[in-house]
Amino acid sequence: MTVKLKLENVSKIFGPRPKKAISMVENGMPKEEILAKTGHTVGVYNASMEIMEGETFVIMGLSGSGKSTLIRCLNLLNRPTSGAIYVDGENVVDYNKNQLKYYRQKKIAMVFQHFGLFSHRTVLENIEYGLEVRGMSKEERQAIAQKHLETVGLKGYENKYPDELSGGMRQRVGIARALANDPDILLMDEPFSALDPLIRREMQLELLDIQNRLQKTIIFITHDVNEAFKIGDRVAVMKNGKVEQIGTPEEILDKPASNYISEFIRDIDRSKILQAEHIMTKPYGLVSLKDGLNVATQVMRENGISSAFVTDRKRQIQGIVTIDQAIDGIKQKKTLQEVMSTEVKTVRPDDYVQDIIPYVLDSKYPIVVTDEDLTIKGIILRVHVLASLISDNIEE
Amino acid sequence: MTEFPDVRIPIGDGVEKFIDFLASHFDAFFDFIFVISSSLIKGLEAGLLAIPWWLFIVIIFLLGWYFTNLYGGILFSFFIFLIGTFDLWPETMTTISIVLISVVLSLVIGIPLGVGMAFSKVMSTIMRPILDAMQTMPSFVYLIPVIFFFPLGNVPAVIATIIYALPPVIRLTELGIRNVDEEVVESAQSFGSSTSQMLMKVQLPQALPTIMAGINQTTMMALAMAVVGSMVGAQGLGERVLYAINRIDISLGFEAGISIVFLAIIIDRITGGIARRLQKHRRDAA
């Protein structure tokens, strides 16, 4: 994977003489004191990160943490006070007026928290806007806008005005407008926080769906941990203008870099983040079909277990045999194939723990994790599921 | 020490000298303005008078109906009919011409100035006290210098009217543009709009309802001033009022006066209706 976007020590300070205030931050003066003494607001301080092509990168933080300031640095709605932002290896901070215009018209587009729609234009004209400022002809841009309007499911609303739509629909217009420009990078500034929870969930799923198809580089801002972990391939947590930790959701859950982050993720529903592959263990006590019942009983005895999974030569799951079935089978001179039960519950490595819980509760036996061709990847015991739901911090 | 000492700082004299200077050195410029505005007024007046009276009433009815409601249309056309019965038809057309020309010129000057103030803090700081002065200065005072530059008649009235009616449209243009939702401006920027695309495609249309409110006020003030303008020879309804004052002719004074009130109501409701119509699509969509 290639690096699409690289931030190097980006800082943004608001006020008449930001350069002076930056040295105060460097000397460790807290944000509040700088504001009181000089009237400068520290938006972002010394943020560095690399965002990969095609990645969904979430910046998470509470209000005032600088996340909105940071995302606005990426398309230079905020000009960074210091630092560099490389997009495809070019430092966009150094762009002149025309380069900047080109960059915004072609490479990067933004979706806003309160939609930022033009209330004097129809839905279709809103979606056309980005193409219109590029100077594209009316027929051409209308055709493209129409296509994206349909992508977001708003066919038939072309000639409505934004204030005739519900919040969710308005944000779809916002997304269609950004996508119509066919940008490499999509900036989303808390796009779903103004929507009610049901619509929000629906839009999150739709975004994941769109992302699957289009593979844009998405930078997504949110204050909602659950949303961040659901959507993000990687997540950066910000606090007071500084980046506290960057990592995959699992990494952050596993090893929070600070108490602040532990606190932040305490309320998270871990079962929605963790997937089968995160909690499974290596399969043990496997028996091959050709081994027969005697080997099976031996394997169970050695491992101290009362059931064993049966596989074929390619380690594809065939069934499960219990110790009782095995002993009866030996007495009645049956084969392993005859006595084993083929009703085995399997899950995929990327199934979420929350979806596995019902199986674990129903089943007396462990759950098998397999990939698509039923090759065994691991097994999950009831105890693994329960342990995964307890946050690590409590143990410490 | 009860009386103010006998010092004299001759600011008034200075202004007078300045006006003299302008009048003697820029007369070609003022002649040019005179020719332009006088032909504009004459042309419009002739155009209005060429419309048959019944057609004019129908037009007013339709405008009233479209921009307010059916009752508005009926009421406004009845007002115009009444004015006709007062035998003040040509005077009314003259007044409407003076007002329309003044308003159009005010917008041509005022909207760019308002845009400039919205973009430049320095310009805004400089313009504000000037606008305050323009609005508080008694309107008659403007009449004095303009008669230096122009012959008595409709033109000095138009010029004085413009000066008097200009501030609201400037102020509300500035306000309208400054108040455009920040996210809307940001989103236009984020798509790489140039400054002029931003202004023409986003800021002005978004500010239009506020600007319309300014245009409404400007129009009302222009109407008031067009009447005062009769003191420098403007014709129309104001001139009839002035005539009635001199003759102590209560009947004519009332008829001319109430005709002005009718015009004011019609213009106010129709421009207000246009403003509301523009407002329709922006309630909370920002």
A2, A52 contact by CB (below 8 A): yes
Q: Are residues A65 and A173 both part of a single domain?
A: yes
Task: Say if residue A213 is in the same domain as residue A289.
Answer: no
Preferred mutation among B182, B187, B198 to probe A, highest tally of A CBs within 10 A: B187
Q: Same domain for A80 and A220?
A: yes
Per-residue pLDDT for A130 more than 90? yes
Is A313 in CB contact (< 8 Å) with chain B?
A: no
| Domains of chain B, start order | 12-50+86-282 (1.10.3720.10)
User: Residue A95: what pLDDT?
Assistant: 93
Residue A396 lies in a domain: no
Q: Which of B186, B192, B282 sits opposite A119 (nearest CB)?
A: B282
Pick B191's closest partner by Cβ from A119, A120, A129.
A129
- Chain A hits for B208, CB-CB cut-off 8 Å, are 120
Single-letter amino acid code for the residue at B95: T
- Which among A101, A134, A161 is the nearest to B285, CB-wise? A161
Of B183, B186, B192, the CB nearest to A105: B192
- Report ipTM for this prediction: 0.77
Report pLDDT for A395. Answer: 38
- Helix axis angle for B70-85 and B89-119, nearest 10°, is 130
Segments of chain B scoring below 50 in pLDDT: 283-286
Residue B102 near residue B161, CB atoms below 8 Å: yes
Nearest to B191 among A130, A161, A162 (CB): A130
Domain final residue pick, A274, A291, A308 = A274
Specify whether A159 is located in the same domain as A190.
yes
Answer yes or no: is A259 within a domain: yes
Residues A292 and A369 in one domain: yes
Name the residue with tokens 């302008």.
Answer: B22
Enclosing domain of residue A381: 277-389
Domain edge (last residue) among A256, A274, A292: A274
Per-residue pLDDT at A341: 83
Are A24 and A38 within 8 A, CB to CB?
yes
Is the CA virtual torsion B54, B57, B63, B64 positive or negative? negative
Whether A86 is in a domain gets the answer yes
**pLDDT the model gives residue B186:** 94
- Flag whether residue A134 sits within 8 Å of chain B, measured between CB atoms: yes
A150 lies in the same domain as A285: no
Q: Residue A391: exposed, middle, or buried by beta-carbon count in 10 A (0-12, 13-18, 19+)?
A: middle
Average pLDDT, chain A: 87
Q: How many CB atoms lie within 10 A of CB B164?
A: 27
Q: What single-letter amino acid sits at A268?
A: I
- B contacts of A100 (beta carbons < 8 Å): 192
Any idea what the CATH number is for the domain that residue A363 is in? Answer: 3.10.580.10
Q: Confirm or reject contact between B194 and chain A (CB < 8 A).
A: yes
Rounded Cα–Cα distance for residues A236 and A248 (Å): 9
Q: What is the pLDDT of residue B78?
A: 95
Give the tokens for residue A222.
């949110």
Chain B interface includes A141 (CB < 8 A): no
Based on the domain organization, do A235 and A300 belong to the same domain? no
With an 8 Å Cβ cutoff, are B192 and A161 in contact? no
Identify whether residues A125 and A177 lie together within a single domain. Answer: yes
In a shared domain, residues A260 and A296 = no
Q: Both A232 and A121 in a single domain?
A: yes
With bands split at pLDDT 50, 70 and 90, how would you rate the model's confidence at A391?
A: low
Decide which of A274, A306, A340 is a domain's last residue: A274
What is the nearest CA distance from B167 to chain A, expressed in angstroms?
26
Whether A244 and A265 have beta carbons less than 8 Å apart is answered as: no
Residues A282 and A255 in one domain: no
The residue of A78, A114, A161, A186 whose CB has the most chain B CBs within 10 angstroms, and thus the best one to mutate to test that interface, is A114
Is the CB of residue A100 less than 8 Å from the CB of residue A76? yes
Which residues of A, range 372-391, sit inside 8 Å of B by Cβ? none
Contact at 8 Å (CB) between B89 and B83?
yes
Domain count, chain A: 2
Q: Please state the separation of Cα A51 from the chain's center in Å.
A: 13
Find where tokens 């844009």 sit: A216
Mean pLDDT, rounded, for A258-271: 81
A108 touches chain B (CB under 8 A): yes
CA distance A361 to A355: 11
Chain A residue at shortest CA distance from B205: A120
* CATH code: domain of residue A169: 3.40.50.300
At A394, the pLDDT band (50, 70, 90 cuts) reads very low
A365 and A327 in a single domain? The answer is yes
Does A381 score more than 50 pLDDT?
yes
- Nearest by CB to B187, which of A103, A110, A120? A110
Q: Which of A267, A257, A235, A313 is nearest to A67 (CA)?
A: A235
DSSP alpha helices (H): ranges in A39-166?
Answer: 67-74, 97-102, 123-134, 138-151
Answer yes or no: is A287 within a domain: yes
| A108 three-class SS | strand
For B253-268, give one letter per residue: b (16+ CB within 10 A) or e: bebbebbbebbbebbe
Query: Which of A109, A120, A161 faces B190 most closely, judged by CB atoms?
Result: A109
pLDDT at residue A111, rounded to an integer: 95
> Over 60: is that where the pLDDT of A137 sits?
yes
Chain A contacts of B201, Cβ < 8 Å? 118, 129, 132-133
pLDDT for A43-101, tens place per residue? 999 999 999 999 999 999 888 889 999 999 999 999 999 999 999 999 999 999 999 99
B74 interfaces chain A, CB cutoff of 8 Å: no
Say what the pLDDT of residue A12 is: 92
Nearest-CA distance from A191 to chain B in Å?
A: 12
Cβ separation A112–B192 shorter than 8 A: no
A118: which chain B residues are within 8 Å (Cβ-Cβ)? 184, 187-188, 201-202, 205-206
User: Phi/psi of residue B71, each to 5°?
Assistant: -65, -40
Q: Is the CB of A104 less than 8 angstroms away from the CB of B186?
A: no
Chain B residues inside the 8 Å CB shell of A163: 281-285
Domain assignment present for residue A77? The answer is yes
Tokens describing residue A360: 């674990």
Q: Which two tokens stand for residue B113?
A: 């100035």
Q: Considering the domain boundaries, does residue A394 fall inside one?
A: no
In a domain, A395, yes or no: no
Q: What is the DSSP string of chain B?
A: --SPPS----HHHHHHHHHHHHHHHSHHHHHHHHHHHHHHHHHHHHHHHHS-HHHHHHHHHHHHHHHT-HHHHHHHHHHHHHHHHTT-HHHHHHHHHHHHHHHHHHHHHHHHHHHHHHH-HHHHHHHHHHHHHHHHS-GGGGHHHHHHHS-SSHHHHHHHHHHHHHHHHHHHHHHHHHTS-HHHHHHHHHTT--HHHIIIIIIHHHHHHHHHHHHHHHHHHHHHHHHHGGGGT--SHHHHHHHHHHHT-HHHHHHHHHHHHHHHHHHHHHHHHHHHHHHGGGSS--
The kind and range of the H/E element at A12 are strand A3-14
